Amino acid sequence: MKIIVCVKQVPDTTEVRLDPVKGTLIREGVPSIMNPDDKAGLEAALRIKDRNGAEVTVITMGPPQAADVLRESLAMGADEAVLVTDRAFGGADTWATSCTLAAACGRLGYDIIFTGRQAIDGDTAQVGPEMAEHLNIPNVSYAAAIETEGDHLLVKREFEDRYHEVKVQMPCLITALAELNAPRYMTPGGIFTAYREKEITTWTRADLPVEDENIGLKGSPTKVVKSFPKTVKAAGMKIERGVDESVQFIMDKLKEKYIL
Amino acid sequence: MNMNKESHGVFVFAQQVDKTITNVSYELIGKGKEIAVELGTKVSAVLVGSGIKELAQNLVEYGADRVIVIDDEALETYTVEPYTQALTAAVTAYNPEILLMGATAIGRDLAPRVAARLHTGLTADCTVLEVDKEKQELFMTRPAFGGNLMATIECPNYRPQMATVRPGVMVKRLRDKEASGEIVVFDAGIQKNNCYVEVQKVVKHIAHKIDIQDAKILVSGGRGVGGKENFKYLYDLAEAVGGTVSGSRAAVDSGWLEKDEQVGQTGKTVRPGVYFAVGISGAIQHVAGMEESDYIIAINKDAGAPIFSVADVGIVGDMTKILPELTKAVWAEKSNKESL
C-alpha cells in the first residue's frame, strides 16, 4: 500500500504576538512547527504501516526550509520525502496549492492521501477536499478514527453534534483531526537516519505536470486586497448602579448584540 | 468558472440536517439579502436534501427571494459527492455571482469540493462580507494567523465568488410570516460515481459536558463568587443563555470547579461570543486566556478590578443579587420571543 501524507510547516501561531505600538505581527523568534492536524495524518499513516505494512511518503510545498518538517517526518518513521518548491508556486491560494499538490500526488501514486483538516496559519480546511476533487477521488474530512478493511477505509467522520461511520473505497483522501491520535516522537535512530542517510527529493515546476494558469500567485482565483492587524479593543463602559438598572443594562446590550 | 458578465444573483446554500435548517443558513440569507440589494439583484437559497420541500417556505420567511429545491434520495444523509453534484448543477444552471455557505463541518467540506469543481476561488470563515462599490465585487474579510491578523480577499476573475461564514457571525432577519417568494424544484441529475462513500452509521452525540473552548457563551466565576454554593447563580444564568460555566484559577484552586474548566494561561484559552466574568478580578494570566472573546461582560463588587479594563460592559455590583435577576430577565425575554 502506498500512502502519501501532505504536511505543512507553519509558524506556531500561539507564539505570534502583535507589536503593541506598530500593530504589526512580530514574526521574529516565532518557532516553525509541523502543522498539528498534519502530524495526526502522518501518525495515522504510520499506524497503518505498523499494522499492515505500507510505504509512507511525506510531501510538502513551501520554501527550501520547509524541508525541516520532512526531516521530522522521516525521523518519525516515514519512508520517503518530497519537497515541492519553486518560486513559480509562491503566493498560491488554496486552488493553486491544491492543483500543485494534486499533481505531485499523481506523480507519486497512492492508495491513501492524508492531509490535516486545516493549517493553523490559514485555517481554511480547503486544500484537502480541493485536491481530492482534482484527483477525482472520494474524500472524507474531519477524521477522528480510521481502520482499514480490505480495499476500503472505515472512517469516523466528525460533525458538530454527531459522527458518521463512513466506508470509503481506496484510493481516497482523508483529512485528519488533531484529535485522531497522539503522534509518536522521533526516535534517536530515526533522527540519525533522517538527517544522515535519507535523501529528500526536490521537485520544481519542471517536474510536475501543471498548467501555468493553475499555479502560484497568477493561478490563484483569490487575491489579498489588504491585511491589517486585528484592532485592539479599548475598554468599554462601566456602570455603578442598582440591581434593576444593571440587569436592564446587560439585557439591552445582549439584545443589541443579538445574543438574545 | 471564468468571469462572465452574465452572472448575477446571490446564492446561499441552505444547509439542513434531519430536516431542520441550520441557523447559519438563515443568517447568510440575511447577509445575502443585504448584498443582493446593494448589487441590485436577488438572493436565492439552495435547499438540498431528501423530502425537504416543505422547509422551503421557512427560507422565504427569513428573506430568500427564491428557493431552489434539490430533492433526491441520494441527498438524505450528507456526503460530499452528491451534495457537490447538486450545488454545482444549480450554479451551472443559474450562474450566480456569489455563493455563500456556513462554515460548518458540512460547509467546510462541501464548499472546497464545489469550488474546485467549478474552478473558482473560495474564502473560508469570513467575518465581514461587503460589496466594493467601485469594482462591484465582494470583499471578504477573514482572520488569519490564529486570529492575529485580518485579511481582505477578492475573487476578481472567477465566478461565483464563494465564501464560508462561521455560525453566529451574521444576523438573521426577523421572520416575516407574510413574505412570499418563488419556490423552484430543480433536477440536478445526480449520478452515482466513484467518489461516493457509504455512511454505515450515524451516531448523535448525547449531550455531554461541553468543552469550554467550544462554548459560544461562557459564564465564568472567580474568587469573588465566594463559595461553591454561589456557583448555582452562574449555572442558572448559563442555562438561561445557553452557555457553559468556567472559572479562574482561584475558583479551581478553591475546589469549586474542575481543572478542565479553568480559563487562563495555566488553563484554557477561550474565545466565546460572550464571556461573563463574574467575581473575577482580572489578573493578567486570566485575561490572557479570554481577551479574544467577542464580548466581555464583567460583574464585580470592586470598582477598581483590572477586569473592567478589558470588559465591553462593566457592572459594579453584587453578583448574588444581579445574577438571579438577570437570569429571570433572560428567561422572560426568551418566552416573550417564542410567543411572537
Q: Is B171 on the interface with A (CB under 8 A)?
A: yes
Strands A152-158 and A162-169: antiparallel
Give the tens place of pLDDT for each residue, A25-63: 676 778 899 999 999 999 999 999 999 999 999 999 999
Give the tens place of pLDDT for each residue, A133-176: 999 999 999 999 999 999 999 999 999 889 999 999 999 999 99
**What CATH number labels B217-338?**
3.40.50.1220
Give the tens place of pLDDT for each residue, A57-94: 999 999 999 999 999 999 999 999 999 999 999 999 99
CB pairs under 8 A between A and B: 248
Residue A260's pLDDT band (boundaries 50, 70, 90)?
Answer: confident
Where along chain A do its domains lie? 2-214
Query: Given this model, what pLDDT does residue B267 score?
Result: 76
Contact call for residues B323 and B236 (beta carbons, < 8 A) = yes
Query: Given this model, what pLDDT does residue B265 score?
Result: 72
Strands A152-158 and A139-149: antiparallel
Give the tens place of pLDDT for each residue, B260-304: 899 987 778 788 999 999 999 998 778 878 988 889 999 999 999
Contact call for residues B179 and A139 (beta carbons, < 8 A) = no
> CB–CB of A137 and B325 under 8 A?
no
Query: Given this model, what pLDDT does residue A14 score?
Result: 67
Query: Given this model, what pLDDT does residue A106 score?
Result: 98
Query: Given this model, what pLDDT does residue B127 score?
Result: 84
Query: Given this model, what pLDDT does residue A25 score?
Result: 66
With CA atoms as reference, the chain A residue closest to B146 would be: A13
> CB–CB of B197 and A236 under 8 A?
no
Answer whether CATH 3.30.450.20 is correct for domain B10-185: no
Q: Is B45 on the interface with A (CB under 8 A)?
A: no
Work out the burial of residue A182: count CB atoms within 10 Å of its CB; fewer than 13 is exposed, 13-18 middle, 19 or more buried. Answer: exposed
B112 contact residues in A (CB cutoff 8 A)? 94, 98, 124-130, 133
Query: Given this model, what pLDDT does residue A161 score?
Result: 83
User: What 3 state SS string does chain B have?
Assistant: CECCCCCCCEEEEECEECCEECHHHHHHHHHHHHHHHHHCCCEEEEEEECCCHHHHHHHHHCCCCEEEEEECHHHCCCCHHHHHHHHHHHHHHHCCCEEEEECCCCHHHHHHHHHHHHCCCEEEEECEEEEECCCCEEEEEEEECCCCEEEEEECCCECCEEEEECCCCCCCCCCCCCCCCEEEECCCCCCCCCCCCEEEEEEECCCCCCCCCCCCEEEEECHHHCCHHHHHHHHHHHHHHCCEEEECHHHHHCCCCCHHHEECCCCECCCCCEEEEECCCCCHHHHCCCCCCCEEEEEECCCCCHHHHCCCEEEECCHHHHHHHHHHHHHHHHHHHHCC
CATH architecture of the domain A2-214 equals 3-Layer(aba) Sandwich (3.40)
> CB–CB of B144 and A121 under 8 A?
yes
Rounded to whole angstroms, the Cα distance separating B51 from B83 reads 15
Reading the block at residue A255, the C-alpha cell is 439584545
Reading the block at residue B328, the C-alpha cell is 429571570
Average pLDDT, chain A: 92
B334 contact residues in A (CB cutoff 8 A)? 260
Q: Does the pLDDT at position A221 exceed 80?
A: yes
Q: Is B149 on the interface with A (CB under 8 A)?
A: yes
Q: Which of B122, B125, B315 faces A249 most closely, judged by CB atoms?
A: B315
Name the CA radius of gyration of chain B, rounded: 23
Residue type, A241: R
Q: Does the pLDDT at position A24 exceed 70?
A: no
> CB–CB of B241 and A259 under 8 A?
yes
Query: Given this model, what pLDDT does residue A122 score?
Result: 85
As a whole-number percent, the residues of chain B with pLDDT over 70 amount to 96
Rounded to whole angstroms, the Cα distance separating A208 from A104 reads 6
Q: B10-185 with B217-338: one CATH topology?
A: yes
Residue B205's pLDDT band (boundaries 50, 70, 90)?
Answer: confident
Where along chain B do its domains lie? 10-185, 217-338
Residue A234's pLDDT band (boundaries 50, 70, 90)?
Answer: low
